[in-house]
Amino acid sequence: MLDGETGGVGVADATVTRTVLAAMSGEDRTAVVDRGRGLRRARFAEAVPAAARGLRRHGVRGGDVGAIHLADACDLALAVHAVGAAGAVPAPLPPDASAEDVAVMMNEAGARFLLTGEETAARSMPAADDSYVRQVFAFGDVPGATPFGRLLDAGAGPGEAPSADPLRDASLRLTGPREDVTHADRLADLYRLGGAVALGEDDVLVCCGADVPVRTWVGLVDLCLVQGAAFAGVPDPGARDLLEAILRYEATAAVVSPAKLRALAFDHGAVPMPGVRVLVAGPPSAEAARACRVRHGWTVEPLP
């Protein structure tokens, strides 16, 4: 659990990636699961620095911006932290964005490279042709892209990534409108969420990326990585899909939109698990919150 410590990371070099990697020691468990596959904590701790070295071998330098257009939460976790560990700035894009919007957002972000996946490549690969992107790395089989796995090949990179100034250097670049989020900003998000959403090793948090802003989606994955909980991604946006994920993963917490809270509150198709903590990314309807408590035995509160 977050308690004001950063696992040995000093204030002068504190970043979310360093904080997350420092939390990876201990029992190896599933960290993130999505689309039927899981990412274990040991694998994450090994792959992030290896991929960062691979990115630098491929010419990525400190301050470069890497667009991230991914729908899978396992891939998202690896991509955001590998780009950050390489000294570059990740610019995560909404996973459901169209090719036209992806091109606009990549140009707005000043992206010079792209990480995509099989679920999003049909939109992000054409968008790359209309942007300043010079290299594309991909999870899965995406023609015309360098496989992410190739970044993990053994070999030294061209030197360590430059040290970050947590108060001034960008840790995320958001688009529409463009906004740079510093390392200190992301750590503040992490500690704010951690203070309100206490999770432990036995907890599973489910969330569909379409229900929350990209910054929140990334922050929730990071929160689970730091606190030792498992993050379960929900690929499809329907309320029924999220309910099925709650049952399948035996979730203890779920993050939903206000509209999805109403749909879940009055769902009559299945008997849900009791005791789920529902966090709403927006003002929750009092009627829906009451129905969740009475019908399902769930607690409902706004996501801070």
Query: Residue 126 belongs to a domain with what CATH number?
Result: 3.40.50.980
Whether 176 and 210 map to the same domain: the answer is no
Average pLDDT score, the chain: 90
Among residues 179, 241, 170, which one has the least CA distance to residue 16? 170
| Three-class DSSP category at 198 | coil
More confident residue, 33 or 10: 33
Q: Does residue 36 lie in a domain region?
A: no
Range of the domain at 100: 42-181
Statement to judge: residues 145 and 210 lie in one domain: no
Residues 152 and 241 in one domain: no
> Of 136, 152, 181, which residue sits at a domain end?
181
pTM: 0.92
**128 shares a domain with 67:** yes
Strand (E) or helix (H) holding 205? strand 204-207
DSSP 227-290: HTPEEEE--S--HHHHHHHHHHHT-SEEEE-HHHHHHHHT--SS-PPTTPEEEESSPPPHHHHH
* Lowest-confidence segment of 181-195, 208-222, 223-237, 262-276 by average pLDDT: 262-276
Q: What pLDDT, on the 0 to 100 scale, is given for residue 5?
A: 44
- Is 208 found in the same domain as 136? no
Q: Sorting pLDDT into bands at 50, 70 and 90, what band is 195?
A: confident
* Residue where one domain finishes, among candidates 181, 203, 219: 181
Whether residue 32 lies inside any domain: the answer is: no
**Contact predicate 2/226, CB 8 Å:** yes
170 and 288 assigned to the same domain: no
End-to-end Cα separation, the chain, in angstroms? 17
The number of CA neighbours under 13 Å toward the Cβ of 179 is 9
Assigned domain for 230 exists? yes
What's the rounded mean pLDDT across residues 173-187? Answer: 94
- pLDDT > 70 in the chain, percent: 92
Q: Which of 181, 212, 241 is the last residue of a domain?
A: 181
158, 239: one domain: no
Number of domains in the chain: 2
